């Protein structure tokens, strides 16, 4: 368990470099400036928006996905003694989310030509990745709640719930407001007028908050999920 945790800690450090470090470098070279509160992450890997450094940002995201893969196995193995189905859902959902994230880096963000019959294939993959990761995190929360105070520390559930429910609520509300403004502009006008200068209106803000939330989720999984032997005996370490 010590070796496994040490390996996961190394992967967390690599994720900090490949995601936050590489994307921060790409954002610093972004034409006309990049404001994370208002711009989505896809702008950094877009040849149209970031023609000089989009490959650097895409490579950073691909490496991040590869570094995240072992955490799917860690969730499945660590949570299985508490709830086997929930643990398997968490592991599989994380794998699918990571695969969609990596595939999304090879699809140029554009809306003109359809890819595989899908007009906005990049956005489809991005939303699929976010959706699968959210399912994995929610499944992990359910397992942590089921084993809270017995096989798992209570702090694990509260940390996971905080970094899962709050960003997910923000993303859902943001997407709902965007859809409302598209199909019912009259009804959404007062909301848009009130929030148009707020970062809470912009999807980019919630994307970055969600990225930090996933990282904190993985940190909690690394340090708070006890060894499998402790889970079987109901011991919280």
Q: Phi then psi for 173, rounded to 5 degrees? A: -65, -40
Helix extents (H) in 80-202: 84-104, 121-146, 154-183, 185-195
Locus of tokens 């997407």: 175
**Alpha-carbon gap, residue 132 to 98, rounded angstroms:** 8
- Tell me how far CA of residue 136 lies from CA of 31, 61, 74, 149, 173, in angstroms: 35, 19, 12, 21, 20
Average pLDDT along the chain: 85
The predicted pLDDT at position 194 comes to: 62
Specify the higher pLDDT residue, 103 or 229. Answer: 103
Measured N-to-C along each axis, helices 84-104 and 54-79 cross at an angle, to the nearest 10 degrees, of 170
pTM: 0.84
CA dihedral (76, 81, 86, 90) in degrees, to 10, reads -20
Where b means 16+ CB within 10 Å and e means fewer, 162-192 reads ebbeebbebbeebeebeeebeeeeeebeeee
Quick: pLDDT tens for 192-225.
666 666 666 677 888 899 999 999 999 999 999 9
Q: Residues near 85 by Cβ (< 8 Å), separated by ≥ 6?
A: none
The predicted pLDDT at position 44 comes to: 92
CB 20 within 8 Å of CB 67? no
Quick: pLDDT tens for 148-191.
888 899 999 999 999 998 888 877 777 777 677 667 667 666 66
Quick: pLDDT tens for 41-95.
999 998 888 888 899 999 999 999 999 999 999 999 999 999 999 999 999 999 9
- Its sign, for the CA torsion 189, 190, 196, 200, is negative
The predicted pLDDT at position 17 comes to: 97
């Amino acid at each position: 368990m010590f070796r496994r945790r040490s390996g996961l800690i190394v992967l967390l450090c690599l994720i900090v470099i490949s995601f936050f470090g590489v994307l921060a470098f790409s954002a610093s070279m972004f034409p006309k400036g990049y404001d994370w509160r208002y711009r989505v992450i896809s702008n950094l890997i877009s040849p149209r928006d970031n023609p000089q450094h989009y490959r650097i940002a895409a490579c950073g995201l691909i490496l991040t996905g590869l570094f995240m893969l072992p955490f799917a196995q860690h969730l499945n193995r660590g949570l299985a003694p508490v709830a086997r189905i929930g643990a398997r859902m968490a592991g599989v959902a994380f794998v699918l989310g990571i695969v969609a994230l990596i595939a999304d880096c090879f699809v140029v963000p554009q809306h003109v030509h359809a890819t595989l019959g899908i007009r906005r294939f990049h956005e489809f993959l991005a939303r699929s990745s976010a959706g699968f990761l959210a399912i994995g995190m929610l499944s992990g929360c359910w397992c942590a709640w089921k084993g809270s105070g017995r096989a798992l520390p209570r702090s694990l559930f509260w940390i996971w719930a905080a970094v899962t429910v709050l960003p997910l609520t923000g993303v859902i509300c943001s997407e709902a407001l965007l859809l409302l403004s598209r199909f019912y502009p009259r009804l959404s006008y007062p909301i848009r007028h009130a929030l148009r200068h707020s970062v809470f209106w912009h999807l980019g803000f919630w994307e970055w908050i969600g990225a930090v939330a996933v990282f904190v989720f993985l940190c909690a999984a690394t340090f708070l999920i006890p060894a499998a032997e402790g889970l079987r005996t109901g011991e919280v370490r």
